[in-house]
Structure formats: C-alpha cells, structure tokens
Structure 1
C-alpha cells in the first residue's frame, strides 16, 4: 500500500492520507485501487480517529484511470471486469472495488476532507466526490472523463453527485467529457469551497472538527449520509435516535462545560 497511499496520524486524531504515485500524477492502476481500499479498511479500524484529510502528492490529486494498465494481468477491464474482479461483483458491501475507492470514504464513520489540486479527472474526480467536504484549488483541471475513452462513469459518481449537482449538469459533463476548472466545480456544486491553499485549509478545518464531541460527529455523519434516500419519517426518527446516544453523556456534558469555560474540550474515547 505504501507505494501508492500513505497514512500519517497527526495530533487530535487527524489522519493525513495521501495518494503518492507521484510519477503518474496518482493515476489509478491495480495497486492504487488495492492501496486505497486497504487504506479505507485501516481507517475504519483505527482507534481515536476523528477526521481524515485526503490529498494527492505532487502535481495532481488524481489523474484518473491509468490507461496503460488496461488489459494487464489482474486488471480485466478489457473483459468487462473491474480493477481486480467482476464489475457485477459486490466485493465491498454494496460496491465493487472500483466503486469502493470513492464510495468507501462515505462509509468511514468520521468526516473526510478532500484537498484537491492540479488534476482531478475521471476516477480521481469521483474519489474527490466521496469526501464529506471538498476544498479545491481554483485552477484544478476537472472532468468526468470516461466518455472520452468510450466508457461510462462507474466509480460511484452518480450516487455521490445526486443532491449536490443538477441532473442536467451531470448529463452535459458526462456526455461531453468537457474539462472545467475548480472554480466552476464549486459553482456547480461538486466542490464545497475554492482555496489557493486547499491542503492548508483542509488541515485547519480538520483541527476544528477534531475538537468536537466524537460520538456526536459520527452521529451527524450518519444523518448526513441518510439524507439522500431516507423518507422524512425515517430521518426524523434517526435524528431522535442519534440524539439519545449522546445527550447527557459525560462527553456531551464536557462539550458544554468547555464552551462555557472557553477552553478546549477533553473527551474520553
């Protein structure tokens, strides 16, 4: 994994996760797919994790699929298969492996912040979309690139984009594979904010989030994840259920006391 993805634990439970295939602008080959999936699995089990910051080393966030890997042993895309298995296989819960490298960030119990620069094409754009919050450099080159190569977007983009971006906008960008900049990505709803220093801003935001009640933050993420397809009645019930898990607990009381005393809270894990 380490030659494709690294995880560095910083203070306050912030994980610095980086794509590090620098010579290929972090393009997705078999080892990158496997490395990202392994990183997500490690993060799911990590004790004390509160926030993840996801970025790409070098000149790009992720340039998308490495076309030179198509048809190589173990890839199988040429035969209608995913990165390491059948596209129809649900090898990672509700997703296949190719989808999981984008969708899996939503399954992490903590907030994920993507800091995006340089290039975010195709699969890279979909990986970015899996983050809870996406901070993008204004000049980042973006594209839903798959149609250029006679493919369809198949890395969880559609379930990740709905609710954020208008249906007709997704269609236009998918059908044409038109390139656009980070500023337009923000205007259209793909990105949360534009920044000249996305990684710096991501770490600042992560520090703020890491100082919040961990159980409440995880409950809030579950509520956010449910918004896309839960009914009103289901969301109302889920709000109450999540609140009952945290209200009047020692950590919730500590959050109140810290605010009243103007100090940083100290939470028990």
Structure 2
C-alpha cells in the first residue's frame, strides 16, 4: 500500500473490496496543504487501478473531516501570483494555472471509476465541502457541520462547490449557503439533501457506511462503475442526450459475463460472484 504524507489508504479487510481513503492531518483538522493537493489524485488513481478495490470511503482522521484549505496553501497562491517581472497578465495566467491544478485534485474524486462515499464527522468547511460534493454519496454524524466558508475569507469558492452544490441541494439553497457562509448542522444537511443519512455518532457512522459500502461492493463492478459514469455524464446533458449516452454505453458494456452471472444467480437463488474489474 502506498505511503503518503497527508493521506492514508486502508483496506477494510483482506477479503473486502472496500478501501478507506483518509485525510490524515488530524493535528491540523485535516486542512488541505500543498501536499494534500499533490497526493489526492495520486491516491485516487491508485485506487482506480487497483482491481481489488470497488468502493472507496473517504473520511478524516481525528475529530474532523476537513477544516478547509491550509493557510500556508493560501499564502503560496498569493505569493505565487506575482512573478518578478511585475507583469499582471503573466501573474494572472500563472495564478489561473495554479487554481486549475487545485481543481484537478478535487475532480480526481469524480475521475475515479469506483464510487467514492464521503463519511463526514466534525467540521466540513471550505475545501472540505469541495471534496464532499465531488463524492458520489455523502453521510454524516449528528454533530457534523458544513460551511461554504470562502466568502468570509474574501474568496469566491473555486474548487467545485459552486458548480456541484446546486445540483445536490438546489440552486436557491446553494446560493444562500455560498453567500452567507453560515454553518449547517448534520440534520439540516439531511433536510437539504446534502447528505443521504445522519448517524448518531462516529462509531455508528463508520458501521453504517461500512454496511452500505459492502453492499455496493457486492454488486456487478461493470454495473457500479457504469452507473457512476452515466450519472456524472448525464448531469451536464439534456435528458435526450443522457439517454443517447447510456444507450451507447450499454451497447458496449451490457453483454458482459456479469450479466450472465447475475441472471444465473437469480435463477438459482444464490448470491452472484463477479470477477474483479
């Protein structure tokens, strides 16, 4: 298993297809450092390529999920935007490239073919919301709280929240949260649709998400990865375009051994056994 400075990958068990990806800077409340942005796409690419992994659970070590971007990372952006020449055009171009680099690290969650489940406890602030909204499914504890905090730091959120949150909670709710930066409790997050379920404690969250992740991992890898791919693609398409896309997808992927095994298992009233992806 790869070693990282800011992340940790742990397999649920030696026979499980569920892998845990943990933000691992607990002393900094898992704030996102420059190393975090470098390592996140590497970790997700590794899990994407791993044939033993079918579901990824993304969580935070310690008492919080993620407190946002590290102030040192913000300093690096500010200092990196002023090249020696003093050319504002070149400074802007350089700054834009750096923002695109940070965006790409978060989008790596969507690029991973395997579904990524966010298990949120404690703070999920700023960059933490960027990460959570890039995940496919979200769960949290009762004491979790969320805040699109960038507006209070004189920043327009630019790592994905403003693009992904409206399709999750609705345009009006996303606008209100982004403009106020206010704190949203776990129960309100459920009401808004930001999370699918709220658990009473961290232990209950871990146990509940484990059951859900294992259930997903027991299904056809072709169907699971195809469902994620089609949902993401259809998000930015009309219904007609989305239907055309899934027709093309299934024309290539539908007739797999997984389909034969699923039908056979259903007929024989047994659990299906699918090959690795």
The two structures have a TM-score, normalised by structure 1, of 0.88
Shift in Å, 1:109:
0.8
Shift in Å, 1:80:
4.4
Which residue of 1 is the match for residue 152 of structure 2? Answer: 148
8 A Cα contact 2:80 2:95, kept in partner: no
CA deviations 1:139-173 (Å, max 9, x no partner) are 21210001111111111112221322222222221
Q: Within 2, Cα distance between the matches of 1:238 and 1:163?
A: 20
CA deviations 1:170-193 (Å, max 9, x no partner) are 222111111121111121122122
The two structures have a TM-score, normalised by structure 2, of 0.86
Q: Secondary structure at the match of 2:16?
A: helix
8 A Cα contact 1:246 1:252, kept in partner: no
Shift in Å, 1:6:
1.0
8 A Cα contact 1:98 1:154, kept in partner: no
Are positions 1:132 and 2:133 aligned together?
Answer: no
Are positions 1:88 and 2:91 aligned together?
Answer: no
Please show how residues 112-261 of structure 1 align to structure 2 within 5 Å: 112-196=116-200, 197-261=204-268
Shift in Å, 1:263:
2.6
Q: Secondary structure at the match of 2:96?
A: coil
Q: Secondary structure at the match of 1:227?
A: helix
Please show how residues 23-34 of structure 1 align to structure 2 within 5 Å: 23-34=27-38
Shift in Å, 1:239:
2.1
1:38 to 30, 36, 42: 42
Q: Within 2, Cα distance between the matches of 1:119 and 1:215?
A: 34
Shift in Å, 1:46:
2.0
Which residue of 1 is the match for residue 90 of structure 2? Answer: none
1:47 to 48, 51, 55: 51
Q: Which moved more, 1:244-253 or 1:13-22?
A: 244-253
- Higher-helix-fraction structure: 2
Q: Which moved more, 1:247-256 or 1:139-148?
A: 247-256
Q: Unaligned 5+ residue runs, structure 2?
A: 83-92
Shift in Å, 1:249:
2.6
Shift in Å, 1:205:
0.9
Q: Within 2, Cα distance between the matches of 1:41 and 1:151?
A: 29
Q: Within 2, Cα distance between the matches of 1:13 and 1:77?
A: 41
Which residue of 2 is the match for residue 3 of structure 1? Answer: 5
Shift in Å, 1:208:
0.6
Count of residues in Structure 1 that have an aligned counterpart in Structure 2 = 259
Shift in Å, 1:104:
1.6
Q: Within 2, Cα distance between the matches of 1:70 and 1:237?
A: 42
2:66 to 62, 68, 91: 62
Which residue of 1 is the match for residue 77 of structure 2? Answer: 76
Shift in Å, 1:60:
0.3
RMSD: 2.1
